[in-house]
Structure 1
């Protein structure tokens, strides 16, 4: 079998390599080139590719455009809150299910099911919840509990940020919970027994045993939540459509061609390159920091 794979390895891998090059690598590098030109989507403003070269003008326009910088900081604020919320809820679910012995499979399924919903569909469902259920029914002056902060949550940038966090936490926590469950199951029970014999209580066992040995799972979950939070598009589009200063980076890049006349795809592509560099840098730093804290046993 090994001889077979060694002999035919190149042919077997060739379709995947071609697909990667044609679908990912080639468009990626083409987009970098276009970010330095006055590309208009179907033609170059200067005539040819070389005649439309504008240098770093598109990058300067990206940072001098108020909508892009506002979207950047709004995305950063959302990412910080969402990463904390998703990780805390997912870890709490995992610890809770670890103490349950009956019906664990059912609970896992229930918590995981929201992750199966598409971003657009889920966004419109939650828009109905925030706009009708919360605003007009539950938290209205005549409702069950009058909480003004929970009303009109999609029509204010601060409220919309927390609305996005609530929605994405509900969607993603179940998936991240499964990763944490896998990490918890890999920790030997002997370590907990030894810690209990030494007099360590539940809180001390969590911080001294569970958390250090769970760092490999934390590395994966943090990477996924950071990347997904920065790339959020469908939920932002469906929930607020970017109105009331609630645009995030992905939606800002999408709308740049609509905001400029004629559509300036070069600026949009420059924003996409900046977006990629930010996500890549933050993800690499996060992986390096968390992996350095991983403990082997």
Structure 2
């Protein structure tokens, strides 16, 4: 739930997918920019369960030199759209032998992002997650039994809701995310705002990372949420809080101030988003360790 700039390469691809109206993507076009640890492709896939057909675009990155099928993580952006956070975390996941799929939910819907340019509720974008899960599960380089999801703010909320049995029913039968890693997922809203029900979890582990100076929440909002869960659900959830960290600490561009009606535990108002390179690096290492452990990869 923050303002940022949509990355042009992914926005143009998503728009092209919408205009084409094709239910299936063309064979992936190889990205001419290669990294030492990954090969990149532009892809698109159908969202599952939307009222009208919707093609969602993304960048799929596969670690090079991997033997056999590899695990994968879906990366979901915040309210402002795709920005540098996705690639920042993707680089570390790829280096650990984990594929990534960074998706653009806004361009496919013709949205501009920010508090005024996003869907009304996070649940409206869960079909994008289920479509991505279906796409990754069928990919010949991906291990369908080891697919996780992470996201920032809006994408963090998606990561949380996709861990509930209620919303996980939207996935293809037999498919589910096996690990969830939300970043600053606006903890106060769960079980208070309609369509943000959080409970009766699937049992897949959930690793929440949040900042004590996040102006969407009170400093103890996330801990109170975890404490409110049933004993069985609490077993699935771990939480790390970062002292002094604001919302979007891993957005490493200059600090900004935004306005959002969901901030300040629903009272609305201004939110400071300040970069913290130290916290960004700590949280990046932590999320890679979380997925590596869940996927059974060696350190």
TM-score range, shorter chain: under 0.3
- Which structure has the greater CA radius of gyration? 1
Between Structure 1 and Structure 2, the one with more helix by share is: 1
Give TM-score scaled by structure 2 length. Answer: 0.26
Give TM-score scaled by structure 1 length. Answer: 0.27
